């Protein structure tokens, strides 16, 4: 009898993490690898945030905190949601967790019963369906289309809703497409949900500060306040503040649900790291002057990658509004052969060929429940991106 539970057998390892790990190992083994697989800012955490952490250590801020997070950080998160979106939450309606991923994990484990359905528009971040499955729920994947900007339409949402639907997951800007919903698009989805009062919304807004070309990021409760009583608005510090390793995520939700999430967290990890929480207060309440230059750099990188990929005749790539990913279509290359004799039968073969034959690590579209595409993270410096794009161009040109 296996020591591993049947529950764990329902899920696969995170493919974004697996690919990033593989690239790291190949590089350690001496291979020349350009890694565009990690969904992680390459910027340093701003100095004033690091200083706050050092001060917290020196001040002895090194003990347990409230399970739901320090009052200061919950107040800071509430103030941030107010400043960014005009939302009105009290600290009792906020929980701090060990990264946005733990917020999502807690939400599904705390709310799903066997057979409850969770609507996940694809392309979608790798971990949503696996966390739902781990929590005994049923992921219902609704593919969106490239020509509709990779966004869920009100029509597709209505068709997917059933009496068993418990959650709709929104992620804007989206990992892996960078697609972001306008206020009007979110409002239209909210109007469908008005007819389904048993359905809750989990909105993952972790990339909301990373938007370009004057796009205004918004979140569903802002345009549909009537959904406040059945929405979890999730955000975190990893992406906008370049703090992936600090592991701070937060969520705003009605107090009853926050209490349930806190109960679950109290029986697993307890509070998020006290030092990272102190740094989080500095991040959310301190100067955001680091942001405009960071955004300008991300935009320049996005434009560089789009311009380079446009040189590949058979590759299509939509222009994303936000995040730091592009998601090109590679269906025109399927069935072709690499110079080393590898037949590209799928996006996974394409990505494997690119890694093995050109030393560029990216992630296959099927990891995001959307085969026929691949994800490039442009959270890398421009020289690396330029070189990686040259290799991708060469890879495609040499296919026969």
Nearer to ligand GLU, 39 or 139 (CB): 39
* Cβ-proximal residues to 216 (8 Å cutoff; 6+ apart), any chain: 182, 183
Q: Is 17 in the site for ligand GLU (CB under 6 A)?
A: yes
Distance CA 5, CA 96 (A): 29
Please check whether residue 238 is in contact with residue 99, taking contact to mean a CB–CB distance below 8 angstroms: yes
Q: Find the shortest distance in angstroms from Cβ 196 to ligand GLU.
A: 29
Nearer to ligand GLU, 161 or 237 (CB): 237
Cis peptide before 123 (omega within 30 of 0): yes
Q: Is 126 in the site for ligand GLU (CB under 6 A)?
A: yes
Distance CA 270, CA 355 (A): 40
Nearer to ligand GLU, 74 or 239 (CB): 239
Q: Find the shortest distance in angstroms from Cβ 222 to ligand GLU.
A: 24
Nearer to ligand GLU, 98 or 165 (CB): 98
Burial of 100-119, coded b for 16+ CB within 10 Å and e otherwise, reads: bbbbbbbbbbbbbeeebbbb
Q: Is 16 in the site for ligand GLU (CB under 6 A)?
A: yes
Binding residues for ligand GLU, how many (CB under 6 A)? 11
User: Among the candidate windows 86-94, 125-133, 140-148, 312-320, which touches ligand GLU by CB under 6 A?
Assistant: 125-133
3-state per-residue secondary structure call for 107-173:
HHHHHCCCCCEEEEEECCCCHHHHHHHHCCCEEEEEECCHHHCCCCCHHHHHHHCCCCEEEEEEECC
Distance CA 274, CA 390 (A): 44
Q: Is 14 in the site for ligand GLU (CB under 6 A)?
A: yes
Nearer to ligand GLU, 38 or 261 (CB): 38
Q: Is 21 in the site for ligand GLU (CB under 6 A)?
A: no
Task: Identify the residue among 70, 175, 233, 262 touching ligand GLU (CB under 6 A).
Answer: 175
Per-residue DSSP letters for 262-320?
Answer: HHHHHTTT-SPPHHHHHHHHHHHHS--TTHHHHHHHHHHHHHHHHHHHTTSTT-B----
Q: Find the shortest distance in angstroms from Cβ 102 to ligand GLU.
A: 11
Nearer to ligand GLU, 8 or 114 (CB): 8
Q: Find the shortest distance in angstroms from Cβ 39 to ligand GLU.
A: 2
Q: Is 291 in the site for ligand GLU (CB under 6 A)?
A: no
User: Among the candidate windows 3-11, 33-41, 139-147, 387-395, which touches ligand GLU by CB under 6 A?
Assistant: 33-41
Binding mask 92-111 for ligand GLU (x = CB under 6 A): ---------x----------
Nearer to ligand GLU, 153 or 172 (CB): 172
Nearer to ligand GLU, 69 or 178 (CB): 178
Distance CA 135, CA 44 (A): 35
Q: Is 39 in the site for ligand GLU (CB under 6 A)?
A: yes
Residue 97: closest CA among 216, 264, 219, 240: 264
Q: Find the shortest distance in angstroms from Cβ 173 to ligand GLU.
A: 12
Whose CB is nearest to ligand GLU? 39
Distance CA 163, CA 165 (A): 6
Q: Find the shortest distance in angstroms from Cβ 262 to ligand GLU.
A: 23
Q: Find the shortest distance in angstroms from Cβ 204 to ligand GLU.
A: 10
- Write down the number of H helices and E strands in the chain: 14, 12
Sign of the dihedral defined by the CA atoms of residues 144, 150, 155, 160, in that order? positive
Q: Find the shortest distance in angstroms from Cβ 172 to ligand GLU.
A: 15
Distance CA 240, CA 209 (A): 6
Q: Find the shortest distance in angstroms from Cβ 17 to ligand GLU.
A: 5
CB count within 10 Å of CB 265 equals 24
Residues recorded for the chain? 400
Q: Is 330 in the site for ligand GLU (CB under 6 A)?
A: no
Distance CA 182, CA 45 (A): 29
Q: What is the CA radius of gyration of the chain?
A: 21
Q: Find the shortest distance in angstroms from Cβ 35 to ligand GLU.
A: 11
Nearer to ligand GLU, 206 or 224 (CB): 206
Q: Find the shortest distance in angstroms from Cβ 126 to ligand GLU.
A: 6
Q: Which residues bind ligand GLU (CB under 6 A)?
A: 14, 16-17, 38-40, 101, 125-127, 175
């Amino acid at each position: 009898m296996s020591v591993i539970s049947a529950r764990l057998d329902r899920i696969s390892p995170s493919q974004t993490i697996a690919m990033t790990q593989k690239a790291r190992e190949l590089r350690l083994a001496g291979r020349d690898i350009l890694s565009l697989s990690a969904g992680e800012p390459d910027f340093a955490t701003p100095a004033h945030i690091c200083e706050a952490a050092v001060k917290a250590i020196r001040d002895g801020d090194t003990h347990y905190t409230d399970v739901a997070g320090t009052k200061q950080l919950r107040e800071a998160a509430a103030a941030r949601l107010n400043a960014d979106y005009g939302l009105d939450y009290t600290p009792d309606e906020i929980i701090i967790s060990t990264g946005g991923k733990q917020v999502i994990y807690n939400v599904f484990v705390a709310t799903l019963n066997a057979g409850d359905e969770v609507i996940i528009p694809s392309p979608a971040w790798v971990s949503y369906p696996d966390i739902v499955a781990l929590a005994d729920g049923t992921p219902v994947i609704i593919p969106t289309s490239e020509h509709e900007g990779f966004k869920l339409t009100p029509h597709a949402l209505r068709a997917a809703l059933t009496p068993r639907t418990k959650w709709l997951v929104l992620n804007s800007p989206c990992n892996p497409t960078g697609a972001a919903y306008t206020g009007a698009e979110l409002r239209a989805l909210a109007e469908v949900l008005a007819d389904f009062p048993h359905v809750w919304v989990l909105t993952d807004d972790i990339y909301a500060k990373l938007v370009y070309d004057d796009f205004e990021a918004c979140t569903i409760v802002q345009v549909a306040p009537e959904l406040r009583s059945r929405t979890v608005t999730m955000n975190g510090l990893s992406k906008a503040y370049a703090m992936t390793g600090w592991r701070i995520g937060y969520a705003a939700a009605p107090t009853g649900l926050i209490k349930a999430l806190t109960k679950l967290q109290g029986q697993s990890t307890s509070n998020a790291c006290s030092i990272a929480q102190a740094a989080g207060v500095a991040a959310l309440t301190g100067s955001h002057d680091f942001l405009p230059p960071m955004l300008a750099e991300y935009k320049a990188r996005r434009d560089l990658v789009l311009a380079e990929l446009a040189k590949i005749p058979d590759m299509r790539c939509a222009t994303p509004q936000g995040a730091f990913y592009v998601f090109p279509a590679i269906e025109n290359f399927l069935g072709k052969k690499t110079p080393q004799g590898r037949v590209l039968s799928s996006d996974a073969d394409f990505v494997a060929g690119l890694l093995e034959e050109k030393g560029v690590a990216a992630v296959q579209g099927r990891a995001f429940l959307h085969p026929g595409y691949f994800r490039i993270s442009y959270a890398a410096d421009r020289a690396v991106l330029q070189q990686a794009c040259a290799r991708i161009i060469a890879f495609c040109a040499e296919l026969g």
